[in-house]
Chains A and B, each alone.
Chain A
Amino acid sequence: MSDFFQDSPLRIAGREFASRLLVGTGKYRDFDETAEAIAASGAEIVTFAVRRTNLGQDAGEPNLLDAVPPERFTLLPNTAGCYTAKDAVRTCKLARELLDGHNLVKLEVLGDDATLYPNVVETLSAAETLIADGFDVMVYTSDDPIVARELERLGCCAIMPLGSLIGSGHGIQNPYNIRLIIEQSGVPVLVDAGIGTASEAALAMELGCDAVLMNSAIAHARQPVLMAGAMKKAIEAGREAFLAGRMPRRQSAEPSSPFAGRIHG
């Protein structure tokens, strides 16, 4: 934020954050690039995936959690790759054990390989189970406002509709639905998935999103670290523009310079 304005912090499940950009850790060249890009993004919340340990691995092999230490970042384990509520719940429990009891998770239950579109039936079921088990659930979902409302009613601590398909870089395809979800929600709304470039991140914030979560837009940029910095600025610019309130749109022109006093008047 600028020197002249102090925004209120982003509040998720009782935790407060200055940054409104959340980033993933997938698709980077190596952990050094991951760490550099995250530093440039200013993100405080960082997502990761849980997978089987490669048992052939050298014990000295670098670990993601060394590049993104849990002492410095709020780690947000995801359930990417899960297609059933049961698998998503198991994954969250493993993540909680991995992070010594940390209970904030990103729930996503996918519907199919081609679209990675959320299976909202399984997502609702998993959310209910996880919340009953004490998890704070940030939930990836479709941009359907009725499903979003139901997820909030179950107790999800953040609603995260897709802008467009995961990894597609198609931006926000239905800004009107995102608006509807923002207007009805009492918990933070984040666009999660679809952002391709800085202007799209700014648009999400101008619509009134509380934050944006992205991975590919940074990791798959030609220069990820440079793009991470661009996204940080876009999120801040979009947030300030939203708070400032845009001018009304007009059908006709209106001069910025006065007519009175013109020399040929």
Chain B
Amino acid sequence: MTYASLSASASREDAMQILLNGETRALESNATVAELVESLGLAGRRIAVEVNEEIVPKSEHDGIRLTEGDRVEVVHAIGGG
């Protein structure tokens, strides 16, 4: 499922808002971290995810469900010294 379709399918009742990398995003209620990552096209990529300042290990992406107002960070490696 693409991010766009995930957003579009989120009707008033089953939608929630999260803060993703500092920006407000609509998401299906109770979406898992894995579903979010998949919707962003980042499944299988070298990324790390933090929810409300706590690391969510890759092994738990399937099990952790996001809730309204969660602050989510998705990071990756870039050039630096």
Please list the residues of chain A having a beta carbon within 8 angstroms of any beta carbon in chain B.
24-28, 34, 47-53, 55, 57, 59, 63-65, 75, 77-78, 80, 90, 93-98, 100, 166, 213-216, 219
Give the complex CA separation of A78 and B42 in angstroms: 23
B21: A residues at CB distance < 8 A: 52-53, 55
Interface flags, B34-46, vs A, CB<8A=1, else 0: 0000001110011
Q: Is the interface of A mostly helix, strand, loop or mixed?
A: mixed
Identify the 4 closest CB pairs spanning chains A and B, nearest first. Answer: A24-B81, A49-B80, A215-B81, A59-B41
Is B47 in contact with A53, judged by CB distance below 8 angstroms?
Answer: yes
Distance to closest chain A CB from B6 (angstroms): 13
Is A98 in contact with B79, judged by CB distance below 8 angstroms?
Answer: no
B76: A residues at CB distance < 8 A: 50-51, 53, 63-64, 98
Is A53 in contact with B42, judged by CB distance below 8 angstroms?
Answer: yes
Is B77 in contact with A26, judged by CB distance below 8 angstroms?
Answer: no
A98: B residues at CB distance < 8 A: 46-48, 75-77
Give the complex CA separation of A149 and B48 in angstroms: 34
Distance to closest chain B CB from A224 (angstroms): 12
Is B78 in contact with A80, judged by CB distance below 8 angstroms?
Answer: no
A53: B residues at CB distance < 8 A: 21, 40, 42, 47, 74-76
